[in-house]
C-alpha cells in the first residue's frame, strides 16, 4: 500500500505515456496547420533545377523562328522545349497536358 506523498510506478508510467502522447499530438497539429515546409498539394516540377527558387526561361521573340514548342508538363528531357514526354505522362496518369506551340502566322498574298 502506498502513502499519499509517493508516486507509484504505474502512475509514473501513465504520466509519461500521457506526456508523450500529448507531445506527439502537438507535433502533428503543428506540422499539419503551422509548418510552412510541409505542403500537402502535389508538385508540378518533380526534378528540374530544384536548387533554384524559381525556374524561369526567357526568349526574344525575334529568335523564335517560325515555330517553337514549349513543354507545359515538366517531364521533358529538353525542358523548356517539348520532347513528347507529355504523351507518356498522360497515359500513365490520365492527365491531359500538352505543349504550348507558338508559330508565326502565315502571311497571305498582298501582306
Ligand atoms: S513534353 Fe511536356 S508538354 Fe510535351
Pocket test for ligand 1, best of 47, 91, 99 (most atoms within 8 A of CB): 99
Query: What is d(CA 101, CA 68) in angstroms, rounded to the nearest whole number?
Result: 6
68 lines ligand 1 (CB under 6 A): no
What the block records as the C-alpha cell of 63 is 529568335
Catalytic residue chosen out of the listed positions 9, 41, 43, 54: 54
pLDDT tens digits for 56-93?
A: 999 999 998 999 999 999 999 999 999 999 999 999 99
Greater model confidence, 6 or 101: 101
Predicted model pTM: 0.62
Query: What is d(CA 40, CA 74) in angstroms, rounded to the nearest whole number?
Result: 19
Q: In DSSP terms, which residues pair with 68 in a beta bridge?
A: 102
Q: What single string gives the DSSP state of each residue in 17-60?
A: HHHHHHHHHHHHHHHHHT-SS---SPPS-SSSSTTSSS------
Cα pseudo-dihedral 82, 88, 93, 98, rounded to 10: 30
54 is catalytic: yes
- Say if residue 2's pLDDT is above 50: no
Average pLDDT of the segment spanning 38-43: 77
What the block records as the C-alpha cell of 57 is 526561361
Amino acid at each position: 500500500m502506498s502513502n499519499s506523498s509517493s508516486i507509484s510506478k504505474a502512475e509514473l508510467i501513465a504520466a509519461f505515456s500521457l506526456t508523450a502522447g500529448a507531445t506527439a499530438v502537438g507535433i502533428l497539429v503543428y506540422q499539419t496547420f503551422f509548418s510552412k515546409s510541409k505542403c500537402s498539394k502535389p508538385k508540378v516540377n518533380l526534378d528540374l533545377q530544384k536548387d533554384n527558387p524559381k525556374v524561369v526561361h526567357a526568349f526574344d521573340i525575334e529568335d523564335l523562328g517560325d515555330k517553337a514548342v514549349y513543354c507545359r508538363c515538366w517531364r521533358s528531357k529538353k525542358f523548356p522545349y517539348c520532347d513528347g514526354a507529355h504523351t507518356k505522362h498522360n497515359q500513365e496518369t490520365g492527365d491531359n497536358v500538352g505543349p504550348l506551340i507558338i508559330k508565326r502566322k502565315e502571311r497571305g498574298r498582298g501582306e
